[in-house]
Amino acid sequence: MIEKIENLISQAESFNAQTADELEQFRVRMLGKKGEVTELFNQFKNVAAEQKKEFGQKLNQLKNQVQDRVNELKAKLEAHESAPTGMDLSLPPGGFALGTRHPVNKVMNEIIEIFARLGFTVSEGPEVEDDYHNFSALNFAPEHPARDMQDTFFVAGRPDTLLRTHTSSVQVRTMEGQKPPIRTISPGRVFRNEAISARAHCIFHQVEGLYVDKRVSFADLKQTLLYFAKEFFGPGAAIRMRPSYFPFTEPSAEVDITCSICSGKGCNVCKHTGWLEILGCGMVHPNVLEASGIDSQTYTGFAFGMGMERIAMLRYGINDLRHFFENDLRFLKQITD
């Protein structure tokens, strides 16, 4: 019996635990209700009288040794868990790398500031939209190809619900809830079912503008866009307007700006024309005004929309739209202004 106690004392002295679970298992094995120490105390009554003193002293020594070892290892494990790993606290503090805004956000914020100087407010709306606000209220015919799955992401099982294809839906909601005069821009993310390439993506960002009031003319639209071009691209920027077609505007136009990469001389980016398309625009179609409860005989308006990625490509001389979505820090760190 004495030899067994001495053997257990030796085990307690040499025991080491890597985890709290290992330590708890050792404690239960030695000090639990059915543990080694408890069993030895239960056998004390069977020890011969002349050995009880030595047996009792050894047994108390074992109990104290086990308890001390458990307490020591527990403190060690707790200190290890609370200590920072891989950190030398004696080193002087180092600098922290500062992040930067994404180039698309930079461009969007700058455009918002430019139009804010003209009195345009910012309107926002849902990215998951219904067919009425995305198409019908904007004068899209029921058979219009833009409603087809090849252009639009529809929600499975809900043919009337889709990911908005433009922020024009926000303009509709604004006209429904606000009486003219209305002067607002709608920045946001939009979605179209297109193949991803250097010039296109299924996700991109737009800023669309709307101005509705009495006697708003196409000349107002042209001067507004010319002001924007000169403020954003520089005082030497020039624009040209080409006739186009959009269901929600009439007349409609595409707007080109002199290529900022070649200064209008012609390059691969502008296909050697010296011009780059930056946005679409036009006078708000009377059907769109009437659908939103605005009298088209009293009020007129213009609207325009531009893709932020296209504008950012021009601003920073980027030739692949996919860079904006890859979150490559090597690319993002190049945009520092």
Domain CATH code at residue 228: 3.30.930.10
Judged against a pLDDT cut of 80, whether residue 320 lies above it is answered with yes
Q: Is the dihedral of CA 328, 331, 334, 335 positive or negative?
A: negative
**111 and 221 belong to one structural domain:** yes
Domain containing residue 170: 103-332
Query: pLDDT-derived band of residue 45, with 50, 70 and 90 as boundaries?
Result: confident
Judged against a pLDDT cut of 80, whether residue 55 lies above it is answered with no
Mean pLDDT of 47-58: 76
Judged against a pLDDT cut of 90, whether residue 166 lies above it is answered with yes
**254 and 327 belong to one structural domain:** yes
Mean pLDDT of 48-71: 80
Judged against a pLDDT cut of 80, whether residue 337 lies above it is answered with no
**264 and 195 belong to one structural domain:** yes
Judged against a pLDDT cut of 70, whether residue 53 lies above it is answered with yes
Query: pLDDT-derived band of residue 83, with 50, 70 and 90 as boundaries?
Result: low
Instruction: Give yes or no for a contact between 156 and 94, defined as CB atoms under 8 angstroms apart.
Output: no
**108 and 76 belong to one structural domain:** no
HEC readout, 194-245: CCCCCCCCCEEEEEEEEEEECCCCHHHHHHHHHHHHHHHHCCCCCEEEEEEE
Q: Residue 76: its pLDDT value, please?
A: 84
Which residues, in sequence order, are bridge partners of residue 255? 241, 279
Average pLDDT, the chain: 87
Lowest pLDDT segment from 47-51, 137-141, 166-170, 274-278: 47-51
**68 and 107 belong to one structural domain:** no
Instruction: Give yes or no for a contact between 163 and 99, defined as CB atoms under 8 angstroms apart.
Output: no
**108 and 78 belong to one structural domain:** no
Query: pLDDT-derived band of residue 308, with 50, 70 and 90 as boundaries?
Result: very high
Q: Residue 87: its pLDDT value, please?
A: 67
Total tally of structural domains belonging to the chain: 2
Bridge pairing between strands 128-130 and 158-163: antiparallel
**155 and 303 belong to one structural domain:** yes
